[in-house]
Copies of this chain bind each other. A is one copy, B any other.
Amino acid sequence: MRWLMILLLASCSNREVEELRTKVLEQSRAHEVACDLADRVGARPAGSEGDRRAVAWALARMQELGLSNVRAEMVKVTRWERGAEHAEIVSPVRQRLFVAGLGQSVAGTVEAEVVRVGSIEELQSLPDERVKGRIVFYDKPMERGPRALESYASAVDVRSAGAAAAAKKGAVASIIRSIGTGSGRFPHTGAQRTRDGIPPIPAAALAIPDAELLARLIAAGEEVRVKLSLESTLHGEAESANVIGELTGREKPDEIVLLGAHLDSWDLGTGAVDDGTGVGAALEIVRLLKAAPPRRTIRVVLFANEEHGLAGAFGYAKTHQAELMKHQAALELDLGTGRALDFRWHAGPTAEPVMHEIGEALEPLGITPAKQDPDAGGADLIPLGPAGVPKVDLLQDSTRYFDVHHTADDTCDKIEPDALAQLTSAATVVTFMLAETPELLERAPRAK
């Protein structure tokens, strides 16, 4: 029976998929769409004026494409706004440090001796008196390369949880070597979590060259004092929205393949590769599939507020709870401009033949065969885990992505049009085949 299904699928779609793959490679304008968002809207942190402009931009784009059920589904977000920021080494030398506050950092000015640690674990092994009254400097490098995402995942804890751990031991501020790659003198900002019951301290990221300067001075035996001043405003609750539009399925319009990206960006750059490229690719996929819509509905969801706590993703899962069992699968594009390297999926075991088939259709794009992986899926798909919505994922070459990720240098010129066209082609194949395959996929065994 399973064997028969593979044959059927193969016989009816091989040529169609091949043509689609080539058409998207040749005709995708994801690059231009992403640059339009970056150039014309620019920075769009959740709840900001730029965010509102982005919602209007996305609605207009979807209307232009003639999608169905185009709408903005409102979600509440917390609006945090960066103010003037300054850091410098005041002793034993005077040097300006390039710095950016981490998301939702409290404001404050401190001057204190720096204590360097390589990890949260190392900090926790220190006696409290070594930390109390000092600035903790987390110096945990990540590795550059096509699969830098793995290194990011293992280094990012100092950004997300480092300040809270430092505050717990009595530190007056927390600074990190930016979680990023390359040598550009840009701090990489990012989200962080405070912990209940621990008064928060100013938390910031240093540009990599500045973190290395600090590390060199400390390695030379110097007692280094740093002054850090962060201004910021927590405006409280604001409105944002998931922007949604659909290409209605020709046979099973109530069954949905979710194709996601996030609309918000950090405030420092113009959000071209995080996540303008994902937005551009998603919109191009439905534009190019419109001539011959697949069996199921493809729903483009441009999530609000991915960067500051997934409010859009949680809002979507709540609003659409009742129809999640009709979600065939979900794919989010949120890894920048690089080529797709690997296809991975997470669903019930009987989904394997379909995923295998999709993997074979991706091979001509140089993508490694399909792999079952419970970690599959972008951040915005996390809230779909408990309902067992099957997830698919295209891991992209992120060699350059983390050079500009969450920095001022995330601008249109960083997009690589050919690589992005390959990604868009791959994502079209995945989306189309999931929308076309006869049966609903078995739900994923457990929540991610």
Contact = CB atoms under 8 A, between A and B. Distances in A.
Contacts of A98: 408
Given A95-B270, A98-B408, A270-B95, A413 B183 contact: yes
- Interface size, A (range): 20 to 34
Q: Within the oligomer, what is the number of copies of this chain? A: 2
Contact of A209 (B40, B93, B413): B413
A209 B409 contact: yes
A39 B95 contact: yes
Contacts of A212: 412-413
A222 to B, nearest CB: 10
A39 B95 CA distance: 8
Nearest to A414: B183
Nearest to A92: B40
A217 B210 CA distance: 34
Contact of A185 (B35, B93, B208, B409): B409
A185 B186 contact: yes
Contacts of A270: 95
Contact of A42 (B95, B208, B408): B95
A15 interface: no
Contacts of A181: none
A185 B40 contact: no
A210 to B, nearest CB: 8
A164 to B, nearest CB: 30
Nearest to A35: B216
A42 B408 CA distance: 23
B93 A408 contact: no
A5 interface: no
A40 B408 contact: no
A94 interface: yes
A408 B209 CA distance: 10
Nearest to A409: B185
A35 B94 CA distance: 15
Given A39-B93, A42-B96, A185-B269, 6 more contacts: A35-B216, A183-B411, A185-B409, A210-B411, A212-B413, A213-B412
Interface of A: 35, 39-42, 93-96, 98, 183-186, 208-210, 212-213, 216-217, 269-270, 408-409, 411-414
